[in-house]
């Protein structure tokens, strides 16, 4: 082999080795670049993910903040709407009183007073209560523009309706007051129409005070005995009769314990409190507005009693259609009514459904009827029962009520002991 051949092969070997080294370097650089590219891609992906997570967190916080703001705004709007509704109802009642009750200058019902002459108020009852319960809130002074305001013209200072019965009765009284001012041909009988409690005998042609009150009473299944229904109808009738006419005679016809005490004239309170028999219990309820109608009525309706010792049917006396009065449902020991053993045909059927009358309380102007229809027959309240229920000592509450409202139980017992009848 020649020298040239050897040199040629050596040269080719060096060239091949150089090329292999170059390729190896290129592959190494490519791997480095690939690693850097992959690392950069992972870094960008990580940054994008973190950025997106941050944006999501910000959006969630913004959504929560905006939702809270809108919810607070909605709650505030609801409260404001309810407040406006209450004020609107109160203003409507004030407008009706100012428009149709010109004979009564008592400004307490309108929510303001003029600093002239302090209102003279009756004090029909003065009784101590447990832990000074009736003196917890000091009433504000009420004054009127007229120094000669009569006591029977001063009505309780009631708020707008707080329950269905308040809405019905307050609306009825306002309508009746308008009718009294508009015409002189409407009047209410001195005694309620007891046939309104009886399905067979009640009149539906002229739904007056008795029918309106009885519809409310019949809606309360807890008032489940005839003496309790008749007693409530009598008391509510006398109260509404006075609130509508506001005369001395209607004021005097109420039992003394039903007439408003000073705090009822001086402090705004729900109207249902005015229908509670015990004076100091009314004071306690006014001073404790946390006791709502639902709380009180759920226990009171089933747990008050009038302690009638005779047959339940004896609370009524039936009047035959020939105009003569026949007493055939009364206690045999009654000194004022002749005894009779006939069965009273006017017992309340157990399946009688209440029927609330919300309109057409008064007959048309051209109909010769009064607010209470007078018929030739029907039933009237037994005078013995009337005398019985007008004595507050005969009204009581059960132990269930006393456990639910212990302070009221003591107050009621105290009022009953102090009652001397009337």
- Burial code (b: 16+ CB inside 10 Å, e: under 16) for 355-373 equals eebeeebbbeeeeebbbbb
Find out whether 355 and 215 touch, Cβ atoms under 8 Å: yes
Residue 390 neighbours by CB distance under 10 Å: 20
Most confident of 117-121, 127-131, 286-290: 286-290
Confidence class of residue 37 from pLDDT cuts 50, 70 and 90?
Answer: confident
- The answer to which of 126-130, 151-155, 172-176 has the lowest mean pLDDT is 126-130
- Count CA atoms within 13 Å of residue 237 on its CB side: 28
Confidence class of residue 337 from pLDDT cuts 50, 70 and 90?
Answer: very low
- pTM of the predicted structure, to 2 decimals: 0.57
Summary mean pLDDT of the chain: 74
Find out whether 339 and 332 touch, Cβ atoms under 8 Å: yes
C-alpha 277/C-alpha 257 separation (Å) is: 7
Look up residue 110 and give its two tokens.
């309108």
Maximum Cα interatomic distance, the chain, rounded to a whole number of Å: 168
Query: What are the backbone dihedrals phi and psi of residue 233, each rounded to the nearest 5 degrees, phi first?
Result: -60, -40
pLDDT tens digit sequence for 276-294: 999 999 999 999 999 999 9
Residue whose pair of structure tokens reads 């046939």 in the numeric block: 195
Find out whether 201 and 378 touch, Cβ atoms under 8 Å: yes
Residue whose pair of structure tokens reads 């650089």 in the numeric block: 29
């Amino acid at each position: 082999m020649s020298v040239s051949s050897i040199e040629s092969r050596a040269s080719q070997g060096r060239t091949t080795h150089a090329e292999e080294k170059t390729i190896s370097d290129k592959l190494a650089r490519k791997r480095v670049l690939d690693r850097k590219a992959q690392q950069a891609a992972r870094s960008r992906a990580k940054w994008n993910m973190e950025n997106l997570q941050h944006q999501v967190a910000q959006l969630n916080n913004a959504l929560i903040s905006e939702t809270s703001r809108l919810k607070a705004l909605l709650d505030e709007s609801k409260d404001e709407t309810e407040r406006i509704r209450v004020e609107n109802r109160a203003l409507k009642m004030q407008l009706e009183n100012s428009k149709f009750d010109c004979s009564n200058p008592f400004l307490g019902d309108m929510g303001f007073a003029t600093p002239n002459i302090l209102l003279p108020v009756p004090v029909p009852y003065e009784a101590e209560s447990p832990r000074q319960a009736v003196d917890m809130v000091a009433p504000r002074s009420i004054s009127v523009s007229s120094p000669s305001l009569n006591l029977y013209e001063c009505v309780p200072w009631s708020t707008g309706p707080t329950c269905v019965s308040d809405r019905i009765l307050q609306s009825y009284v306002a309508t009746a007051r308008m009718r009294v001012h508009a015409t002189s041909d409407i009047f209410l009988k001195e005694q309620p129409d007891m046939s309104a409690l009886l399905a067979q005998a009640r009149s539906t042609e002229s739904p007056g005070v008795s029918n309106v009150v009885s519809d409310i009473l019949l809606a309360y299944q807890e008032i489940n005995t005839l003496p309790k229904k008749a007693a409530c109808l009598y008391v509510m009738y006398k109260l509404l009769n006075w609130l509508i006419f506001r005369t001395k005679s209607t004021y005097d016809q109420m039992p003394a314990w039903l007439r408003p005490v000073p705090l009822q004239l001086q402090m705004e309170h729900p109207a249902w409190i005015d229908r509670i028999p015990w004076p100091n219990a009314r004071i306690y309820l006014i001073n404790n507005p946390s006791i709502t109608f639902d709380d009180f009525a759920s226990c009171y309706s089933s747990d008050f009693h009038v302690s009638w010792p005779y047959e339940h049917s004896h609370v009524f006396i039936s009047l035959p259609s020939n105009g003569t009065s026949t007493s055939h449902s009364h206690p045999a020991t009654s000194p004022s009514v002749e005894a009779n053993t006939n069965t009273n045909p006017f017992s309340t059927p157990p399946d009688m459904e209440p029927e609330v009358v919300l309109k057409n309380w008064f007959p048309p102007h051209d109909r010769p009827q009064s607010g209470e229809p007078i018929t030739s027959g029907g039933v009237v309240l037994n005078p013995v029962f009337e005398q019985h229920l007008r004595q507050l000592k005969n009204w009581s509450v059960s132990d269930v009520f006393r456990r639910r409202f212990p302070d009221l139980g003591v107050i009621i017992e105290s009022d009953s002991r102090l009652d001397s009848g009337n």
